[in-house]
Amino acid sequence: MLTRRFFLRGPAIVMAGAGALPFWLARAATAAEGKRKILVAIFQRGAADGLNVVVPFADKRYYELRPTIGIPAPGPQNGVIDLDGHFGLNPALQPLKALWDKQQLAIVEATGSPDPSRSHFDAQDYMESGTPGVKSDGWLNRALTPGGPDTSPVRAIAMGAQLPRTLRGVHSAIAVANIQQLRLGDQNGASALESMYANTADAKMGHAGKDAFSAMKMIQSLTQGNYTPAGGAQYGQGGELGRSLQQVARLIKADVGVEAAFAEVGGWDHHGNEPPQLTNLLRQFGSALAAFALDMGDRMEDIVLVTMSEFGRTAEENGNSGTDHGHGDLMMVLGGPVRGGKVYGRWPGLEKEQLYEGRDLAVTTDFRDVLGELISGHLGQQNLGQVFPGHKPGEPLGLLRS
């Protein structure tokens, strides 16, 4: 019986014609595996201002601390969208309200890392490593269960030109800015090239090359032509994230074995003139997430999407209608298996003595507890000690339906 494995190991003649991998074959090979569970991680780079993304409008200290950039309470057109009487969505996140009402969207407040760094780059590295204070390989790579010879070369994908730390590690992961790039323009030297990279003594190059060619073969025939999202979903308003998530959606639907996906959005570092910039970003952010959920439709039952940022921002606004680097932030969790429509985590309050170092939102839920629950409950990786070495999990949050 021909298997997908045969084609993956085959010689370069497989690449000689487009559509070399029969569509039915890929389907047949994966059908037996059942519906794969997928975790999508979104990193907001630059320290997103959680307090203005999900606003604690019932806490009057919020308005004392943010006289200029505070978002009005529910009511006026530019007021927050009430979620539960205490917290409200930034109005630019309107597209997420439906997901909240459908109980697919949950929010975890006051999340973050025990590490005190306020350096973007260190804090991002620590969060992506899942090891505060130490830079290592990625938590999402470690979260993958051991693979085998039939493991899809695209089980872990990152949208972007460079592989993020989150997905670095022993398991193969690929990074692509655009899946249309995953093809060789000229087939003439294809077999020579593949052999060059397969046999090179340069280990890192060889590894990169092997990943590139097997991913390319896998995806090439399954992603020809244009893609029409389901349900009328429109990614166009979602900016860069919309484009990334559209490709993630396409790959998931192509049944090529995606288990872990990563995308990032930059530009959250609003030291000055925050309100209009944050509004723009959130419009795209909300639109992209909503489009993805709509596009995936019923498949959302197998998908959990989680967002994070390296830290939050100062509770008090600064001199330039902006905020500086802070500490606690929030995470969003979206998906069919999520027990949504609820704000999780213990709200620490905004009084001066309740703030971290008197200036930032405190952290009451370690980000690894959020991720850990999703990794074990959704991806099925029970060995959390390996994913987050040295971390003792806190109280379970109950983010997923059992």
Partner 1 sequence: MKRLLFTVTAATLLAIGVPFLGSAVGRFDNRLSKEQEILQALNRLTFGPRSGDVETVRRMGVAKWIDLQLHPERIPENPELEAKLKPLESLRMESAEIFKQYGAVPRALVPQFTPLNQLLSQEQMRKILNGTAEERQSALNDLDPEKRRKVLPMVPPAVISTPELQKELAEARKAQQEEQQKEFRRLMPPLPDLLTADQIPIAQRGTPEQRQALFASLDPVKRQQVAGALGPQSLSGFPEMRRAGMAARQPQQVAIADLREGKLYRALYSNRQLEEVLVDFWFNHFNVDEAKGSDRMMLASYERDAIRPHVLGHFKDLLLATARHPAMLFYLDNWESISPDALQTLQVGPFATGMNLTQVLGRQAHGLNENYGRELMELHTLGVNGGYTQQDVIEVARCFTGWTIRQPNVKPEFQFASFMHDNGEKTVLGRKIPAGGGEQDGLRVIDMLAHHPSTARFISGKLARYFVADDPPKALLDKMVQTFTKTDGDLRAVLETMFTSREFFSEGAWQSKVKTPFELVVSAVRATQADTTDSFALVQRIADLGEPLYGKVEPTGYVDNSEAWLSTGGLLGRINFATTLSAGRIVGVKIDASRLDGKDTATMERELLNRSPSPETQAAIENGLGGKPATPALITGLVISSPDFQRR
Q: Which residues bind partner 1 (CB under 8 A)?
A: 45-46, 68, 117-122, 158, 160-163, 168, 174-178, 181-186, 188-189, 191-197, 199-202, 204-209, 211-212, 215-216, 266-267, 269, 271-273, 317-322, 324-325, 357
Closest to partner 1 by CB, 108 or 216: 216
Of the candidates 198, 140, 137, the one whose C-alpha atom is nearest the C-alpha of residue 169 is 137
Nearer to partner 1, 276 or 396 (CB): 276
Residue with tokens 């084609």: 7
CA atoms within 13 A on the CB side of 150: 10
Of the pair 103, 200, the CB lying nearest partner 1 is at 200
Give min distance, CB of 339 to partner 1, in A: 36
CB nearer partner 1, residue 208 or residue 343: 208
- Pick the closer one to partner 1 by CB: 117 or 376: 117
Three-class SS of 124-178? HHHHHHCCCCCCCCCHHHHHCCCCCCCCCCCCEEEECCCCCHHHCCCCCCEEECC
Compute the least distance from the CB of residue 379 to partner 1, in Å.
Answer: 22
Taking the CA atoms of 277, 244, 292 and 400 in sequence, report the sign of the dihedral they define. Answer: negative
What b/e readout covers 51-66, taking b as 16+ CB neighbours within 10 angstroms?
A: bbbbbbbebebbeebb
* In the complex, least distance from residue 361 CB atom to partner 1, rounded to whole angstroms: 16
| CB of 54 or CB of 123, closer to partner 1 | 123
Are residues 45 and 310 in contact, defined by beta-carbon separation less than 8 angstroms?
A: yes
CB of 378 to partner 1, least distance (A): 25
Shortest spacing between CB 245 and partner 1, in angstroms? 17
Give whichever of 165 and 378 is closer to partner 1, judged by the CB atom. 165
Which one, of 290, 270, 284, 356, lies nearest residue 52 by Cα?
270
C-alpha count within 13 angstroms, C-beta hemisphere, residue 215: 24
Residue 80 and residue 53: Cα distance in Å, rounded?
Answer: 9
Which one, 81 or 362, has the nearer CB to partner 1? 362
Is the Cβ of residue 2 or residue 205 nearer to partner 1 in the bound state? 205
Q: How far is the CB of 242 from partner 1 (least distance, A)?
A: 18
- From start to end of 313-357, where are the E strands? 329-335, 342-344
Q: How far is the CB of 273 from partner 1 (least distance, A)?
A: 7
**C-alpha dihedral sign at 330, 331, 332, 336:** negative
We find the least distance from the C-beta atom of residue 189 to partner 1, in angstroms, to be: 5
Q: Which is nearer to partner 1, 314 or 376 (CB)?
A: 314
Choice between 168 and 171, CB closer to partner 1: 168
Count of Cβ atoms closer than 10 Å to residue 316 Cβ: 19
Q: What angle do CA 223, 229, 230 make, to 5 degrees?
A: 125
Structure tokens at 177: 């800015």
Shortest Å distance, C-beta 214 to partner 1 = 9
Residue 348, Cβ neighbours under 10 Å: how many? Answer: 16
Rounded to a whole number of angstroms, the minimum distance from the CB of residue 149 to partner 1 is 20
d(C-alpha 88, C-alpha 99), whole Å = 14
Q: Minimum distance between the CB of residue 105 and partner 1, rounded to whole angstroms?
A: 28
CA 112 vs CA 70, 269, 340, 392: distances in Å: 22, 17, 20, 15
Other C-beta atoms closer than 10 Å to the C-beta of 118 total 18
